Amino acid sequence: MRLLGEFFPGKTYLYFPFLDAALVWIQKRVPEWEEKIVAWKVWPDPDYIAAKPDAFVLEFYRSHSVLNHAFLKAVESEEKEVLRAGFLRLYPIFGLEDPFLRGLFHDELAAGNLAAVVKEFDDRVRKAREDIKRVPDKSRLFRNLKACVEELLSLGVTVLSQTQVRSAIEKWLEEKGCGNEG
Amino acid sequence: MKDNFRSWAAWRTAGLLVVSALMVSCASHLREAKFQYAQGTELRRAYQTDQALASFSRARLEAERESSRRPSAQSFMLKGLAELELNRRMEAENSFRKAFAHGFEKGEEWAEGLSLLGTAVTLERFGLEEAASGFYLYLIEKSKFRPVTILAARHHVENELLQIRDLEGDKRRAALARLLKTVQRLAGKEPSCGFYHYLQSQIRSHQEEHRSSLESAVLARELGLPQQEILRDNDNQIIFCYRKLKEELDPIQWESFQTFYMQWARRWNWRGPEEPEWKRR
């Protein structure tokens, strides 16, 4: 992690998407994996229909105990505006289980501070996209990424699907104590 | 004299080799662009979004190399298609216009569709939803370029549902029925497009017709959806309808419904009626 820390000091949340992409490509022994990482698009704009009926929104909060607890008052009194605003930011994390967003808000999610996720969502996502574009020395980044992936593979991570790759990295980062300091 | 001839022959051979290498390289750029584009489509269908985007990006690069060396309708069309997949709409529009200039007849029509779509998205972003809606409807009815029709339908449905959500009574019912009819017309023209069934499922959910919403979502899942996020959202819709029907149906109806539902859940390898394989435990 120290190697990646050279590129993203204080922005450990950015390890996740890079490692994810690198592991997928290196494991598959694709020769042009570096090119593929550069071409790779982080958080493409989602195209699902976000305008849900209120019953769906309410059910979303009720069916996740963390959300139900954090928004108890709004859920009980069915405060449409509060619930709808939170839904737009929390649904990709809890409903669609987006691994990058989970990494991005790792600390807030671990502390159960969902109000902070809702409040900081737009700014943090925008900033993360900009930070990734600004990586200064890509060839050194690739060398270090390869070293990290080799460490991951030596731990016996066997890649079966992209979803499994993501949860393996998430677990590994958690074990390494890499919270979000960004 | 003999030496001059030898040297000329050597230069000619070298020249021919360079020319043929260039020709092979040009041919391989186009071939590689086609291969990468086809692979991207395949990967997208398998919900491997990251890999699909990388393939489309490579297809774009190869088509660009080809069109700068040997501009042709085919190379610009491929470049435009890859750009569209990468959400680079303005560049795609430009590529289709160039494809038209090189003899691809549909190029201008495709570029116009994209230009109108871009205008509608901008209008929407600046709060002119009603004006945007007119453009989307026009594209839904008239566009013969499938990606544009799909994008216009998605924007139109989202836009309309946002406005309908706060309507009540007859006004709400009529607006939802109108919207459903629009999407049904599209699905009628292309019944194998999973995304149109996904849109119908979303509208029916607003109509509180949970059984029909579930059936459309099942159809959408079976036919395939363009993105992993949409697939997951569609799964969540299936689970939501399942829960609602549990409240709405009487015990006998529920039992028969559950048998039907579990057949699908098993077919998709779900861990349980509310547990798709991608969901955390």
* A179: confidence class by pLDDT, cuts 50, 70, 90: very low
Give the whole-angstrom CA distance, residue B256 versus residue B260.
7
pLDDT at B5: 56
Q: Is residue A48 part of a domain?
A: no
Q: What is the DSSP string of chain B?
A: -HHHHHHHHHHHHHHHHHHHHHHHHHHHHHHHHHHHHHHHHHHHHTT-HHHHHHHHHHHHHHHHHHHHHS--HHHHHHHHHHHHHTT-HHHHHHHHHHHHHTT-TTHHHHHHHHHHHHHHHHHHHTT-HHHHHHHHHHHHHH---HHHHHHHHHHHHHHHHHHHTT--HHHHHHHHHHHHHHHHHHHHH-TT-HHHHHHHHHHHHHTT-HHHHHHHHHHHHHH--S-HHHHHHHHHHHHHHHHHHHHHS-HHHHHHHHHHHHHHHHHTT-SBTTB-TTS--
B chain contacts of residue A63, beta-carbon cutoff 8 Å: 243
Smallest CA–CA distance, residue A135 to chain B, in Å, is 19
B240/A contact by beta carbon, under 8 A: yes
Smallest CA–CA distance, residue A40 to chain B, in Å, is 6
Coil vs helix vs strand at A96: coil
Asked whether the beta carbons of residue B53 and residue A41 sit closer than 8 angstroms, the reply is: yes
**Structural domain count, chain A:** 1
pLDDT at A134: 65
Residues A108-147 pLDDT 10s: 888 889 999 999 998 888 777 676 666 666 677 777 777 7
Q: Is residue A57 part of a domain?
A: no
Asked whether the beta carbons of residue A46 and residue B229 sit closer than 8 angstroms, the reply is: yes
Coil vs helix vs strand at A56: helix
Specify the length of chain A in residues: 182
Nearest by CB to residue A51, choosing from B158, B208, B236, is B158
pLDDT at B132: 92
- Scan for tokens 């925008």, then name that residue: A126
Instruction: Compute, in degrees rounded to 10, the torsion defined by CA atoms B154, B157, B162, B163.
Output: 140
A160/B contact by beta carbon, under 8 A: no
Smallest CA–CA distance, residue B162 to chain A, in Å, is 6
Q: Is residue A52 part of a domain?
A: no
Phi and psi torsions of B272, nearest 5°:
-170, 180
Asked whether the beta carbons of residue A39 and residue B57 sit closer than 8 angstroms, the reply is: yes
Compute the average pLDDT of residues A63-85. Answer: 92
Size of interface A-B (CB pairs under 8 A): 82
Smallest CA–CA distance, residue A118 to chain B, in Å, is 20
Asked whether the beta carbons of residue A39 and residue B58 sit closer than 8 angstroms, the reply is: yes
A164/B contact by beta carbon, under 8 A: no
B chain contacts of residue A96, beta-carbon cutoff 8 Å: 229, 232-233, 236
Q: Is residue A49 part of a domain?
A: no
Sign of the alpha-carbon torsion through A102, A106, A111, A117: negative
B175/A contact by beta carbon, under 8 A: no
* A32: confidence class by pLDDT, cuts 50, 70, 90: low
B69/A contact by beta carbon, under 8 A: no
In chain A, DSSP finds a helix count (H) and a strand count (E) of: 12, 0
Give the whole-angstrom CA distance, residue A97 versus residue B5.
73
Q: What is the pTM for the complete model shown?
A: 0.77
For residue A134, how many other CB atoms are within 10 A of its CB?
7
Round the average pLDDT of chain A to a whole number and report it: 74
Residue type, B113: G
Is the pLDDT score of A181 beyond 50?
no
Q: Structural domains in chain B?
A: 20-105 (1.25.40), 193-281 (no CATH)
B121/A contact by beta carbon, under 8 A: no
Residues B257-274 pLDDT 10s: 999 999 999 999 999 999
Q: Is residue A38 part of a domain?
A: yes
- Residue window 89-118, chain A: list those with CB within 8 Å of chain B: 92, 95-98
- Among chain A residues, the shortest Cα distance to B52 is held by A40
Q: Which residue has the higher pLDDT, B237 or A165?
A: B237
* A43: confidence class by pLDDT, cuts 50, 70, 90: very low
Q: Is residue A137 part of a domain?
A: yes
pLDDT at B247: 95
* CA-angle at B244, arms to A56 and A47, nearest 5°: 35
A chain contacts of residue B230, beta-carbon cutoff 8 Å: 46-48
Coil vs helix vs strand at A45: coil
Q: Is residue A67 part of a domain?
A: no
Structure ipTM: 0.79
Residues B63-91 pLDDT 10s: 999 999 999 999 999 999 999 888 888 89
pLDDT at A31: 59
pLDDT tens-digit profile, chain B (281 residues): 555 656 666 666 666 555 555 555 556 888 999 999 988 888 888 777 767 877 888 899 999 999 999 999 999 999 999 998 888 888 999 999 999 898 888 888 899 999 999 899 888 888 888 889 999 999 999 998 998 999 999 999 999 999 999 899 999 999 999 999 999 999 999 999 999 999 999 999 999 999 999 999 999 999 999 888 899 999 999 999 999 999 999 999 999 999 999 999 999 999 999 999 888 76
Q: Is residue A5 part of a domain?
A: yes
Smallest CA–CA distance, residue A39 to chain B, in Å, is 5
The region, left, alpha or beta by phi > 0 then psi within -120 to 50, assigned to residue A10 is: left
Asked whether the beta carbons of residue B208 and residue A46 sit closer than 8 angstroms, the reply is: no
* A30: confidence class by pLDDT, cuts 50, 70, 90: low
Q: List Cβ neighbours of A136 (8 Å cut-off, separation of 6 or more).
A: A7
A chain contacts of residue B49, beta-carbon cutoff 8 Å: 44
Q: List Cβ neighbours of B118 (8 Å cut-off, separation of 6 or more).
A: B89, B90, B93
For residue B259, how many other CB atoms are within 10 A of its CB?
9
Bridge partners, residue B275, by sequence: B272
Structural domain boundaries, residue A150:
1-43+98-182
Bridge partners, residue B272, by sequence: B275
